[in-house]
Amino acid sequence: MVAKSSFTDRIIANVERVIVGKRNVIRLAVAALLCDGHVLIEDVPGVGKTMLARALAVSIGGEFRRLQFTPDLLPSDVTGVSVFNQRESDFEFRPGPIFTNVLLADEVNRATPRTQSALLECMGEGQVSVEGQPRQLPRPFIVLATQNPVEYEGTFPLPEAQLDRFLMRVRMGYPDFDEERGLTRTIGATHPIAMLRAVATDEMLREVQLAVPSIHVDDSVRDYVVRLARATREHPDVALGASPRGTLALLRASQALALMSGREFVLPDDVKEAAVPTLAHRLILRPDSQLRGRTGDHTVAGLVSSLDVPIGAA
């Protein structure tokens, strides 16, 4: 267990060479990687969303591809297409950028809903169906998607089914004064991302991913996870609560956070830390609640504060 927690510590420390002052965000993103999940990084432009995704990809050493989502991007530009080979007198499949270990889907909400939907099968089942033929994606396979707030020009809100495929949504936020001042000193002629090197391999990552489900979850903590997810469906501000996929995401993320802390069992604090990132983006709020300024983050955070926590669970 110590080796596995030190593995994640190395990744976090490596990413912090590029992303300053966002250890909690980096920790959550690494937890999602351990769960073999996908991460939606959401915030305003210029706060380091793309840099976080690139730094994570470089740190784990897998094959990395970046795909800039634009309104004219087609589904075949993501998944690939069959073309006629005149020499062989047959069609051959040319894989798209989705066939990689780490895909940076940059500004994913600038593409049309049709193109966004090309990621659904890839993220949910780890395969692509082209002309009726399923094709397996490499392992590990991780989508790190960035998106700007939907209020910005030229964006298409991600549909609920797409959001539900993301294990977590994390937000960067602005740096504080000291962090931003330090940033002005570290950015010189060469950006730190250019000097970043891998501190792990995809084989090492896969080994740690396989260890996450073995982290012990006491029945009282398991019940706490289910109560949190079910409470989102009964909240007066919520029109549609977290899905069972969200319940499983919260459980897996809690196990990953426990592993990263060097423990073989999940504590309620792990569940609390994972609750907002794994559940908030899955909620659809009632229109009147949105007018009152309520958000999924507020709703889940309130539930975490109000629900009884299991005592002595291990």
What's the token pair of residue 199?
A: 């501190």
In contact, 69 and 107? CB cutoff 8 Å: yes
pLDDT tens-digit profile of 188-207? 667 778 888 888 887 888 88
Query: 113 Cβ partners below 8 Å, 6+ apart?
Result: 156, 159
pLDDT tens-digit profile of 273-302? 999 999 999 999 999 988 888 888 999 999
pLDDT at 213: 94
In contact, 266 and 219? CB cutoff 8 Å: no
In contact, 20 and 183? CB cutoff 8 Å: yes
**CA nearest 313: which of 262, 270, 273?**
270
Question: Hey, where are the domains in the chain?
Answer: 1-202, 215-314
Look up the CATH number of domain 1-202.
3.40.50.300
pLDDT tens-digit profile of 203-230? 888 889 999 999 999 999 999 999 999 9
Instruction: Give the percent of the chain with pLDDT over 90.
Output: 38
Query: 139 Cβ partners below 8 Å, 6+ apart?
Result: 101, 126, 202, 206
Which class would CATH give 215-314?
mainly alpha
pLDDT at 50: 84
In contact, 81 and 91? CB cutoff 8 Å: no
What does the chain come to in residues?
314
- Cβ-in-10-Å burial (0-12, 13-18, 19+) of 188 comes to exposed
> pTM for the full model?
0.87
pLDDT at 2: 43
**Local confidence pLDDT in tens for the 314 residues of the chain:** 446 778 899 999 999 888 888 889 999 999 999 998 999 988 887 778 888 888 888 898 888 889 999 889 988 889 888 787 777 777 788 888 999 988 999 888 888 888 888 888 888 888 888 777 888 998 888 899 988 775 566 677 788 888 888 999 998 888 888 878 877 777 766 777 888 888 888 788 888 999 999 999 999 999 999 999 999 999 999 998 999 999 999 999 999 999 999 999 999 999 999 999 999 999 999 999 888 888 889 999 999 999 988 876 55
In contact, 196 and 18? CB cutoff 8 Å: yes
